[in-house]
Amino acid sequence: MELNIRAETQADHAAIEALTLVAFFRVAHSRHDEQQIIERLRADGALTLSLVVEHDGYIVGHVAVSPLQLSDGSRGWYALGPLSVGPGHQRQGLGTRLVREALAQLQALGAAGCVVLGEPAFYARFGFAPEPGLVLPGVPAGDFQVIGFGDRLPPVAEAEYHDAFLVGG
């Protein structure tokens, strides 16, 4: 299987929207607005990274990364997600490859760390773990996970995602 992970281009936007819709269609905890979140992040210039997996000319996976605001003013923290893999390509390691590439690119940018709101068992393999000092108000501690890069420790703070994540709520 020939796969290419690369930054999105403008020509990819419609395919990313369609992929995101179908990837989250049967996800019980989804508000089914993930494609709108990505579009708002893009429109606001808040997509630090937007990576796609391309297979035979088709977009089959996507991950977005956006800046995170912390109540203590710490800089260099980012939020990973939404992460989408087309139903016909799930359980083949594409999500894992996208997350690894996104984290590597964040580290290359000098990021302090990254957070994710998602399935603990999946994200733990990358080093994400709950951090009692860094919280997302209203979210169970186990679902909000953190990874610091290098020797950087997560700050004691409340996290705030970009307003794009409020689109459906």
pLDDT at residue 64, as a whole number: 97
pLDDT at residue 15, as a whole number: 95
pLDDT at residue 25, as a whole number: 64
pLDDT at residue 160, as a whole number: 93
Confidence band for 129, pLDDT divided at 50, 70 and 90: very high
Higher pLDDT, 136 or 1: 136
Cα–Cα distance for residue pair 38/83, rounded to 1 Å: 10
- The predicted model gives 62-79 an average pLDDT of 96
pLDDT digits (tens, 9 = 90+) for 19-63: 888 877 666 565 666 788 899 999 999 999 999 999 888 999 999
CA angle 167, 11, 39 (to 5 degrees): 5
pLDDT at residue 88, as a whole number: 74
Cα–Cα distance for residue pair 169/16, rounded to 1 Å: 22
- The predicted model gives 86-105 an average pLDDT of 89
pLDDT digits (tens, 9 = 90+) for 142-168: 889 999 998 777 888 999 999 998 865
Tell me which H or E stretch contains 158.
strand 157-160
Q: Which domains does the chain have, with CATH numbers?
A: 3-166 (3.40.630.30)
Sort 24 into a burial class: Cβ within 10 Å, 0-12 / 13-18 / 19+.
middle
Cα–Cα distance for residue pair 60/38, rounded to 1 Å: 16
- The pTM (predicted TM-score) of the whole model is 0.92
